[in-house]
Amino acid sequence: MLPRLVPLLRTLPSPETMSTAARVFPRALFSKPPPSLTYKTTSYLKPHCIFRRLSLFPNNIRVSGGAIHASSKREYRRVRKRGSVAKRSSKEKEIEFDIRICIEESLPDDSEILNISEMLRLNVPMAMKLALDGLKGSQYKTRETSISDVGCFESVELSVLLCNDEFIRKLNKDWRDEDRPTDVLSMSQHVPELQLPILMLGDIVISVETAARQAEERGHNILDEIRILVVHGLLHLLGFDHEISDEAEAEMEKEEGILLASLGWKGKGLIHSAYDAETNVISSHIDDVNDRKREGSLRFYKPKFQYIFCDMDGTLLNSKSRISLSTAKALREATSRGVKVVIATGKTRPAVLNLLKMVDLVGEDGIMSESAPGVFLQGLLVYGRQGREIFRSNLDPAVCKEALLYSLKHEVPLIAFSEDRCLTLFHHPLVDSLHTIYHEPKAEIIPSVEQLVASGDIQKLIFLDTAEGVATTLRPFWADATGETASVVQAVPDMLEIVPSGTSKGNGVRMLLDHLSVTPKEVMAIGDGENDMEMLELAALGVALSNGADKTKLVADVIGASNDEDGVADAIYRYAF
């Protein structure tokens, strides 16, 4: 693997046979290279890091120097009258093929990508053997012939790296001064002057995201497209270059077709596929460099859901009230594939924005902004398109006054939520924790019950106590005291919430879905608390995290990992994709 490529991959020990770069020929489909594309080094650098975990598949295959079985479709095989395997001399030299199939760490740990990698372990050696076997006696006029007869080598090395658009964009920018993704890059490591016993072909880098788009456009699956890209990249490493002339393009197109037909793979080759039959223009993978909207927007497998509704406390947040980096990565992965993530929480909108800012998930490239839809304060404030308020429900002032008086009498801290403000009657460490730990707006101290009630509409109240105090005292009392005018709900064990009767987070989610013209079958919901039950039942797939309430687990379709085990990330990769 090239030293320039190495720093972008996960650190692992280098395999013993890992080759180093002496010269590089970066190439990309239908793109004009800079005047100087040959990079030479005077020393040989041993790379110290490659690939990510579980992504290195060494595939050392010994094959004899003759033709592969069932390869009669190659046109040159009939011309050259090559003998069958059975008639070969027993002394014929065997060549070791050292093939590495690698996955760049930004791609998700997904079964489809891993399955493609496993297929390439079998496919790439076949393609390489067939392509090398056809070099002897080749009559192509435009191919660079420094690699012709591989019989003088003891082994042949090649690596294939699967990556995303952003990774291949960086390579294009660094090596070719072109800031855009392409489908395939070939990077040669062969130095004929050295006369080494190892033929170091180099690296083929393939963007899975671009391959997925092209597969959809061309009517075949992603494995078919990646096979086509492997053949294209391999021929570049063997000296073919469609960019130098029309004749070179025709010869490379012909060889692509021969190889694909001989291998029994679908497609007519990348060069042939790249031209639209009617308009004779290059297809959309070389659209204008400024057209970035589609990059990474198509899943290499279509998402099962268009929307993910996700709770915050106990779900998206771990026990330290933080979003882990793994969970943030999964959320970015979901949005990059076109899945819309909507927050449905008991928190205020400012609290959600503050928490998401910590992991760079706010703004155009995040999952939340002030113009994004969302369900807040247990469904009492619902924001729709452009972040405009579409629903609000307020508590009866009489209920608020009664709860505030109870707070003063029993010295139990109480927070009143008034849109983006938090109000309270007195200082208390638990009140402070709502701001320092849960990132709610800092509570304003209002000196009297009357002044607090008059400060503005109150959507909900939260009593703060120990889990035991809530369960044994607060909940039994207020479940009875609220009557028909209000209800009690719990998101976490040490807080009791009083909300207007007939309202719920589930109702808020339903209202937002109607506003967005989204059906429940397009939605996956993830939660943990009793206040999430309606939302999980409403969605096509409801995921309760293992740390959740028993009642919530009973209504969920599946039970996921806990919030301290990146349960949201696991659910996204396992069920949304």
Q: How confident is the model at residue 293 (pLDDT cuts 50, 70, 90)?
A: very low
Distances (CA, A) of 432 to 437, 446, 489: 8, 15, 22
Domain 307-392+506-576 CATH assignment equals 3.30.70.2340: no
CA distance 321 to 358: 11
Higher-pLDDT residue of 273 and 410 is 410
Q: How confident is the model at residue 60 (pLDDT cuts 50, 70, 90)?
A: very low
Average pLDDT over residues 414-442: 93
Cβ within 8 Å of residue 445, ≥6 positions away? 424, 425, 426, 427
- Residue 46 has a pLDDT of 26
CA distance 353 to 335: 17
CA distance 333 to 361: 11
Q: Which percentage of the chain shows pLDDT scores above 70? A: 79
**Contact in structure between 255 and 240 (CB atoms under 8 Å):** yes
| Residue ranges with strand state E in 77-197 | 94-103, 155-163, 184-188
Q: How confident is the model at residue 181 (pLDDT cuts 50, 70, 90)?
A: confident
The rounded mean pLDDT for the chain is 80
Superfamily of domain covering 6-83+90-273: Metalloproteases ("zincins"), catalytic domain (3.40.390.30)
Tokens 């919430």 found at = 497
Q: CA angle 198-204-207, nearest 5°? A: 165
pLDDT in tens, 44-59: 222 223 333 223 333 4
* Residue range(s) in the chain whose domain bears CATH number 3.30.1240.10: 397-500
pLDDT in tens, 529-574: 999 999 999 999 999 999 999 999 999 999 999 999 999 999 998 8
pLDDT in tens, 317-346: 999 999 999 999 999 989 887 899 999 999
Report whether pLDDT(347) > 90.
yes
Q: How confident is the model at residue 275 (pLDDT cuts 50, 70, 90)?
A: low
Which amino acid, one-letter code, is at 364? E
* Residue range(s) in the chain whose domain bears CATH number 3.40.50.1000: 307-392+506-576
CATH of domain 397-500: 3.30.1240.10
Report whether pLDDT(129) > 60.
yes
pLDDT in tens, 397-409: 999 999 999 999 9
